[in-house]
Chain A
Amino acid sequence: MQSQKHKDAEDLWAVQATLQGNPAAFETIVRRYTPVLYSLAYRLLEEGEEAEDAVQDILEKAFRNLSRFRINKRFFPWLYTIAVNHLRSLERRRRRRSRLRIVSSEPERILESVASEQGNPVEQSELREGERLAQQALETLRAEHREVFVLRQIQDLSVQEVSEVLGIPEGTVKTYLHRARKAMIDFLAGSGWE
């Protein structure tokens, strides 16, 4: 298994090569980060089927804004910051959509039928009950607590890395983790199950 330092060095090589006129070098970044970004998007978006588009948009944003990356920094916190900001923006838009939308049942049916022919990456029926409950528990959390929990507990970033990605103090990361855990215990161990 590659060490984190080795991965960081490969990232920087790929970024530099891309910036020097070899866009194909960005493939290293895409292949390395598509799985983790997909997982991040899947757990942070309330509509998990949007995760695939979100990953494409995040990587495209990173690609188009690569010249803004400071080469003396680690690449992955920069990419994660873009990702979290993009996912927040999608969630804001989704919440607004529930109140404001052009209503057109006919086209929606068309879109849904075409999409279903292609196979939905998220088949609710195939999710195990435990995973469904775990996702429900995540969805009970406030957005900022969920971000911290997903990055630290599921994506296995260090507290310092979470702090860097989200731009919040490490103490706040720990506080949010604590609150997330308590909220999920209340959900899973609460009295509503009996």
Chain B
Amino acid sequence: MDALRLDSVVKRFGDFTAVDNLSFAVAPGEVFGFLGGNGAGKTTSLRMALDILRPDAGSISVLGSAPGRTNSARLGFLPEERGLYRSMTAIDTIVYFGRLKGMAAAAARAEGHNLLERFGLGGFIKTPVDKLSKGMAQKVQLATAVVNQPRLLILDEPFSGLDPVNQGLLEDEIVRAAKGGAAVVFSTHVMQHAERLCDRLLLLARGKKLFEGTQAEARATLPVQLLLSAKASPATLNGVADARQAGTPGEWQDWEVRLAPGNDPGDLLEQCTAQGFVLRRFEQRRPSLHEVFLHIVGGAEGR
């Protein structure tokens, strides 16, 4: 059973289509990245999964059920816009959210204590939120999302506004949740986090899905780039789309080579050997997710 499944979901606000025919599925134990620029429809999609918004068309399944608060016992959610009740203590805040998710008060309190200890806030359990630093408050917010040990953890731009220490803490929690069998869906437009964490990812632009798959599959959408060092131009070799001189001109010249789509670097190396095309360097350059994003989404965003 998928932890989260969207089938042909459409959401409109007046004349504006925020989410257009979106379908994807997330399996238990999977970390799923929901990538897109501002206004791509990420938050709207996640709000529909949480039943904060209702789709105009299509269907959504959350842990095998229709979206609704009956799922909240198995759901964790950290919104992009985060805040806490300022006059409540750290532990009371966690217990309140735990109880809203159907936990017994004692269980929520016990888990709240564990989380605060784990996040280094053991000494601030009874401190009112308005007396905590921003970083501490962010940890409390994270604790409210995971206090019920959710089977589906939805994080909307979770890294925005976090300091590097808390970013590391959040990454650890994401990995911990996934290892525990939970599906983690997080939206972001910071590719480094997605690169480190995602098993699969979905690229969204203007409400439409442009790509869904693993990171390797995403990278495969870009032409292969090679760095060669040769005495002659590799542009004449089969499968080379273009070759640009790089570095200082000399007997051995560096070349930046892009292969035409569908060509394998190994085939090119074999061709060089067979044809006696002398090489001192043959290096394949792995494209970053950022480049993949720009490649896939850039054009769509501009349209």
- The answer to whether A and B come from one shared complex is no
Interface residues of A (CB under 8 A from B): none
Interface residues of B (CB under 8 A from A): none
